[in-house]
Amino acid sequence: MRGVIMHAPGDVRVEDRDDPTILEPTDAIVRLTASCICGSDLWPYRGAEPVDHAPMGHEYVGVVTEIGADVKNVKVGDFVVGSFWSSDNTCEICQAGYQSYCVHRTLMGTLGTQAEFARIPLADGTLVATPGQPDAELIPSLLAASDVLGTGWFAAVAAEAGPGKTVAVVGDGAVGLLGILAARELGAERIIAMSRHADRQALAREFGATDIVEERGEEGVARIKELTGGLGAHSVIEAVGTQEAMHQAIRATRAGGHVGFVGVSHDVSLDGLELFGAGIHLHGGAAPVRQYLPQLIQLIWDRRIDPGKVFDLTLPLEDAAEGYKAMDARRATKVLLTV
Amino acid sequence: MRGVIMHAPGDVRVEDRDDPTILEPTDAIVRLTASCICGSDLWPYRGAEPVDHAPMGHEYVGVVTEIGADVKNVKVGDFVVGSFWSSDNTCEICQAGYQSYCVHRTLMGTLGTQAEFARIPLADGTLVATPGQPDAELIPSLLAASDVLGTGWFAAVAAEAGPGKTVAVVGDGAVGLLGILAARELGAERIIAMSRHADRQALAREFGATDIVEERGEEGVARIKELTGGLGAHSVIEAVGTQEAMHQAIRATRAGGHVGFVGVSHDVSLDGLELFGAGIHLHGGAAPVRQYLPQLIQLIWDRRIDPGKVFDLTLPLEDAAEGYKAMDARRATKVLLTV
């Protein structure tokens, strides 16, 4: 099969890879309908994380072509969406809703879903079948559920977005934008998008943002305070992963408020005394997307949400390198790869 | 009046100070019945925080002797308990239950309650009157409510201690011990005290600890994991404030679990990627004791809890210096000063 390999930072190629096969009786093989490039794929692409001939991709939707002997919840022919962490969905951690920390988890990125096929470990606890074969127009949104929507949703839940709440969102990438959509779905009263890009501001408003703040860092914090009677937001979503973004999120949150952080941290260090002084709640990490998949698939199936709008560039898998370039240069927010 | 002044690290004296007077119409003057020395008073005593001729003390119970023109909720003659942060109890932050971050807060420590009298700002929103004049035997417990009990309670709430939960407590000082009591009152199933002092272990068990772990640091974490099927505790209370204690707390918590931290942070730095990888909830800071005072006073009044047991040394105010020495040398867990 064909699949993406990142040889080194900046060097992405589509090459022949071995077709995946069932290795464990709990595996399934999925023929991918679409995959995509994640903001987190840019860290190695930019040399901020080591990379050496790695298969890439951890977001996926497609059709089951083969199942292991123990797989019971999905069957050949099912159209499925899965999370970027595989999970058994039965351990104590999974049962508590933290499938991304399952005691048996595997990171899908190590398997590489920017490809024609993928082996999905723990298929029963990882994959969720859609109610039927989806219309083509639903594919982007279902693919978004696999990571960016699920991650934005978790960020909004972790930030305790809800009725009566003012939510601020740090980061206008796909996850931040879908954090806005999630905050709206969760009933937030006011949603402040922090963005200085006109196209992303427009999508933020479409997804439910009521206010836009263009300032960043301390100025951005001051602006959020100004908009919230000097107190800060009740809920802040951090969807970047840098020191500046994390500080911005923590400092823009009122005492007793909640920060939901989902940007993969890079060189972030938090001062204990600042946290003590802030009096906020801090929760985040790898989103337990599997927890939300049934609910998110239904919302998409019923056409109540359209998270697929974050894809502003669609390319065939063979042109994956061009997709990485476009996202790196911020010419695209999120690239969908058709397989 | 007589009151404690810390001239410099290690140099505590009881001296003549001006009697406090009403400065604002929202003030009250309280004749203190008892005060005490806080674990946090040891930071400047040990030179870990700057100190220069500072009045000391922020915990207090006593009788109102004078009120400002605007005070309505307490009257002269009332026996009152107050928090170590004054609060108006009406602002948005107070109403959300975070009175220790009130927009009009004052730190009582700057006023110094290790003394015969104290001026309490924002008396209406800070003081809570007991149902009547308390029996002498209740004084230590009511005094504990002013900070150590309220702080331990907040830590247990922040750690989401409750039915079915395993709670681990890092720190066997008065706050940690009362965090155990709070976790028991909140219905925790299993409470693991981390302590290597026989007398504190005994009190921990009396307050509700079901297990004792003597190991610290990584060994302590390994022991907690061993006791929790490899997963870590659901809830961990951090009641020390050092880097080691904070790491111990975070690493002993399972993914999706909760850390409640109330130790005043000293040179603590948290790595963003470790937090991302941990998937825990982190909440803490200055405890909003005022929120819990009515409930805690009632529990004490009804003799359902006896948090005053943390006081293992009682001295007259004049001997405050000896009290500091005893706590510094860990000869006493918590010192009560009679006025």
* pLDDT per position as a tens digit, A36-81: 999 889 999 999 999 999 999 999 999 999 999 999 999 999 999 9
Mean pLDDT within B207-212: 98
Q: Which CATH superfamily hosts domain A151-284?
A: NAD(P)-binding Rossmann-like Domain (3.40.50.720)
* Residue B109 confidence (pLDDT): 72
Least trusted range by pLDDT, from A128-142, A273-287, B38-52, B90-104: B38-52
Interface membership of B48 toward A (CB under 8 Å): no
In this structure, are residues B61 and B144 in contact, taking their beta carbons and an 8 Å threshold?
Answer: no
Q: How many pairs of residues across A and B have Cβ atoms under 8 Å apart?
A: 125
Q: How far apart are CA B133 and CA B31, in angstroms?
A: 14
Those residues whose C-beta lies under 8 Å from the C-beta of residue A336, and which sit 6 or more positions away, are A34, A35, A36, A140, A143, A311, A313, A314, A315
Interface membership of A272 toward B (CB under 8 Å): yes
* A130 confidence band (pLDDT: 50, 70, 90): very high
Instruction: Sketch the domain layout of chain A as residue ranges.
Output: 2-147+288-338, 151-284
Name the token pair of A287. Answer: 């989103």
Asked whether residue A108 carries a pLDDT value surpassing 90, the answer given is no
The per-residue pLDDT for range B48-74, each reduced to its tens digit, is 999 999 999 999 999 999 999 999 999
Q: Residue A284: its chain B contacts at CB < 8 A?
A: 275-276, 279
| Min Cα–Cα distance to chain A from B121, Å | 21
Q: Residue B256: its chain A contacts at CB < 8 A?
A: 93, 96-98, 101, 288
User: 3-class SS at B159?
Assistant: coil
- Name the CATH topology of A2-147+288-338: Quinone Oxidoreductase; Chain A, domain 1 (3.90.180)
Q: Residue B243: its chain A contacts at CB < 8 A?
A: 272
**pLDDT above 70: percentage of residues in chain A:** 100
Is B280 in contact with A283 (Cβ distance < 8 A)?
yes
| Min Cα–Cα distance to chain A from B100, Å | 9
Is B279 in contact with A264 (Cβ distance < 8 A)?
no
CATH code, B152-284: 3.40.50.720
Mean pLDDT within B270-286: 97
Q: How far apart are CA B209 and CA A180, in angstroms?
A: 43
Name the token pair of A193. Answer: 């998008």
Asked whether residue A257 carries a pLDDT value surpassing 90, the answer given is yes
Asked whether residue B110 carries a pLDDT value surpassing 80, the answer given is no
Burial A272-282 (b: 16+ CB within 10 A, else e): beebbebbbbb
| Burial group, residue B267, by CB count within 10 angstroms (0-12, 13-18, 19+) | exposed
Residue bearing tokens 């009933």: A187
H helix or E strand, kind and range, residue A299: helix A289-301
In this structure, are residues A218 and A243 in contact, taking their beta carbons and an 8 Å threshold?
Answer: no
Asked whether residue B108 carries a pLDDT value surpassing 90, the answer given is no
User: 3-class SS at B163?
Assistant: coil
Is B255 in contact with A285 (Cβ distance < 8 A)?
yes
From the list B269, B276, B284, the residue facing A284 with the nearest CB is: B276
Interface membership of A162 toward B (CB under 8 Å): no
* Residue B111 confidence (pLDDT): 83
Q: Residue B100: its chain A contacts at CB < 8 A?
A: 255, 279
Least trusted range by pLDDT, from A96-110, B85-99, B124-138, B312-326: A96-110
From the list B93, B272, B285, the residue facing A246 with the nearest CB is: B272
From the list A103, A256, A267, the residue facing B101 with the nearest CB is: A256
C-alpha B76 chain-centroid distance? 27
| Min Cα–Cα distance to chain A from B238, Å | 12
Those residues whose C-beta lies under 8 Å from the C-beta of residue B137, and which sit 6 or more positions away, are none
* A298 confidence band (pLDDT: 50, 70, 90): very high
Asked whether residue B77 carries a pLDDT value surpassing 90, the answer given is yes
Asked whether residue A112 carries a pLDDT value surpassing 80, the answer given is yes
In this structure, are residues A261 and A168 in contact, taking their beta carbons and an 8 Å threshold?
Answer: no
Interface membership of A266 toward B (CB under 8 Å): yes
Is B268 in contact with A272 (Cβ distance < 8 A)?
yes
- The mean of the pLDDT values for chain A is 97
